[in-house]
Structure 1
Amino acid sequence: MKKIKSILIATLMATSIISSAQSNSNNPLGLVYGDAITENISGKVNIHPVTYKLNGIDIAANVYTPANYNSSKEYPAVVVAHPNGGIKEQTAGLYAQRLAEAGYITIAADAAYQGASGGEPRHTDNPAYRTEDIRGMADYISQYPGIDTHRLGALGICGGGGYTLKAVQSDKRFKAVATLSMFNSGEVRRNGFQNSQLSTIQERLKKASEARAKQANGEIIYAGVASVTDEEIAKTPKGLYREGYEYYYRTHAHPNSTFLYTMSSLLDLMTWDATANMDLIEQPLLIIAGSEADTKYMTDEAFAKATNAKNKDLFVVDGATHIQTYWKPEYVDQIVAKLVNFYNNNIK
């Protein structure tokens, strides 16, 4: 039996976390975002849980169909890639549902090795796999009844945004591309958040190498956070990580969502960069970030490098932080309006 070891926080879930998860679990479909579908009603947006194989791994996804969906008609489609640590029932599902309300067939899938999808070891965060997840969503939704394969768009959120930028560099099935609060996982794992760990790159690569050696012998070493107490949240500086703990472990908690990733994943993450070869993106590109997001520097870097993208647009949501773009209605409404206009102009 594999030994599991968490190198950071491995405490039991606090009572407040359990209570939050229970309050969110009232949705019979397991969705933990505001105004989520609770049942399929004729003539309304419907949700369809599906599974499919991707490179031998079972992928769990939700497909959203527009109101009065008719499989004999043709619809544009958008694939939605979830954030690091996230799953399809959280913000990826929110935006998939809102785009379905605007007439798009959408799909949000749990990444391989994460959420309800298969794959071992659990919580592997390999950028090649995450990029392949996006292509896999395109494979599946392109065969869905009523899809016009010439009108396929992509939306990536947080880490899913970085992986989406990489996927569309080569996969030209995607005719329009958008990211929200883009997070360049390779840059952050290599350099540290806001370039705060430049002096420890080689040390961390050695730890990742050691973790790979132990993994070969059946011991899985994890980095990240398994759970967090109220006291630990209070001590975390304001910004991405504090708001992230509150979102993932309190207000939008789901048992399949975790901040853990295998330490060995750093071998791939630290040598990868979402913004390498950005000049290969020739599709229309919309990049969205909050004006108060401490991750915005990654969005700015990506936008500047997208020199060949058509109709390139940077939309800054005034007053929003990174995590607030996931759920806060006043910001979500602005973002959805911008996304719908973008997709309508480019694939609808």
Structure 2
Amino acid sequence: MNAASPPSGSDDGGPSARRNPFSHHLARVADRFPDLLPFLAVPLLTTLLDADGVRRTIAEAGNRVSINFEFRFPDPFLDLWSFVDPPAPTAASSTGGSVPFAPAPVDPPTATGAGDVTVDLAFQSRSVPLGEAGPGLIAGLLALLVAYAAVFSVVYAVYVGGIDRRLRGEPIAVVDCVRSYAGRFLAYFAILFGVFLLAVPILAVLILLALPVALLAMYLFYGVPFLFVVADLPVLEAFRRSYRLALEGGPYLRFGAWYFVVTLIASPIVSVVVSAGGPVGFLLGLTLVVPLSVLLTAATVSFFDEFVGQSSGAGVETGVDGGAAPHGGGSNDWTD
């Protein structure tokens, strides 16, 4: 099968698929869910590894009911903390934005009182006396961030790349996924973190613009991590391609809008169940979110797999806009 051909067995799905590509691809991957079962372990483990968040969420259940409304365009990875914010540490409260590559909320250091700074990392929260927040602490935090980025680059590479391979009936090929995609994800996280740091002082002044600017950026570039895998694009070309697709609208806009609506509806339901239900609510939340996370990622991979194949078939024989051919020359076969 050459690079210009759409995935095997993946016709355009008719008018309904063109109107709502999200439901079309969600139904397709639901039919293939048994092939995706190994990936349930990833959002489950990343949720449970935040032991401090788990403890605080269960301990505070019933004392508070949290209702979260999450604004998300397609994301390569979701876990329970993508829908639920664990209670803040009792000694401090935290505010601020999130570091893009961490599955759990990751807030920048924020003042929490006259003498403390709270640092929230992916799997722990720690209050640090203000006097200790010197160069040594900053260097340590940067080292932790680099380590987290490296680990999550591997996780994302295996998760997204492995889902793509399973949907095409191939082995997950962990080593090949890491070798092919981890470096791109690491560069992607570095770019997002750099943009985040540059934007914080600007958006702190123009606070009313923070949300619309963030949503616009999320929409324009949500395709980037999926294009790494599906189209085998290098980092900068993936950003350019995602930007062009976003400006064109069409299926890219419709898929992203439906994903946005689904996660916006799911987040208050899950957050209420988890925050009010104690251990039972926490387990129920995991039961809802873990398969949903895998299905949403798989549906997005399926969408881009078909979308890139159709774009190539429209006249770009060498791949997407002159980039590498999808899957290194067209091994993107689906078996429905």
Confirm or deny a common fold (TM above 0.5): no
Larger Rg: 2
State TM-score, norm by structure 2: 0.29
Structure showing the higher helix proportion among its residues: 2
Greater RCO, CA 8 A, separation 6+: 2
State TM-score, norm by structure 1: 0.28
